[in-house]
Amino acid sequence: PDEQKKPESTMPGLRKVRHILAVASGKGGVGKTTIAVNVAFALKQKGNKVGLLDADVYGPSVPVMLGISESPGWQDKMIIPAQKFGLRIMSLGMVTEKGQPVVWRGPLVSKAISQLLGQVLWGDLDYLVVDLPPGTGDPSITMAQLLPTAGVLMVTTPQEVALADVRRSIDLFTKFNLHIVGLVENMSYFLCGHSEEPIEIFGQGGGERLSKEFGLQLLGKIPIDLDLRKGGDSGVPLVVSAPDSVLGRIFRNIAEKI
């Protein structure tokens, strides 16, 4: 890419970041953060230097998912990211009052997002994974404007009602000329342990339909999994605690295709 055209390279904290991978979803609760966190660690397991920015202004949940309770440090007006399991991490949840909802109006949200992007000392990174806010509101538009060279990983569930929101999100990122690297379908099926027959709790085929409709690669399908949920609640993501499990391999497979 033409370095001259990279507005984010004017943001001091991002100068040595080679790739930005924004993880997006049409709506909340589809597992966007779970995918962002586990893909970030899968990228690290492949030998990359990785940072994770939780920019979900509506519900920053990375600190809980990674068991981070400390506030970040400062150096020359720049924020020093936290370190966890070898990743550099920054989240809005680390700078807001614990348990307080983030109720910011438009201009403040934009300011907070651009500070998070530009004023964090990310240092030398192969990948900065950004957990975007869900949907197509102001925060997503601000991110799209500030990160014109980011690749976008879209997370969806198989359900038809979820697809309408994903389509709107894809349209938004396409309008801003962001490159969509592919789709991940989450909560695709459940294996109950008594039978090998997958139970398709949220229906089936959503990821494939979107993939055909937009000409995007379906990079992987993630089942509903008890250990994945427990990993999210306990502060140790599944890819970290069980890298060689079936799911650990699914996530590394996705990381390989990015």
Summarize as ranges the residues that interact with ligand ADP (CB under 6 A): 25, 28-34, 61, 186-187, 222, 224-225, 228-229, 232
- Smallest distance, ligand ADP to C-beta of residue 56, A: 7
28 is in an annotated binding site: yes
Distance CA 147, CA 153 (A): 14
- Smallest distance, ligand ADP to C-beta of residue 230, A: 8
Residue with smaller CB distance to ligand ADP, 8 or 56: 56
Question: Residue 17 CA to chain centroid, in angstroms?
Answer: 16
- Smallest distance, ligand ADP to C-beta of residue 9, A: 28
- Smallest distance, ligand ADP to C-beta of residue 172, A: 17
Residue with tokens 């090998």: 196
240 is in an annotated binding site: no
Distance CA 133, CA 181 (A): 18
> Which secondary-structure segment (H or E) carries 146?
helix 138-146
Nearest to 77 by CA among 12, 147, 161: 12
- Give the DSSP letter of residue 248: H
207 is in an annotated binding site: no
Residue with smaller CB distance to ligand ADP, 180 or 228: 228
248 is in an annotated binding site: no
232 is in an annotated binding site: no
Q: Are 23 and 36 in contact (CB under 8 A)?
A: yes
Handedness of CA 118, 3, 107, 94 (dihedral sign): negative
Instruction: Enumerate the known binding-site residues.
Output: 26-33
Residues flagged as binding site for ATP: 26-33
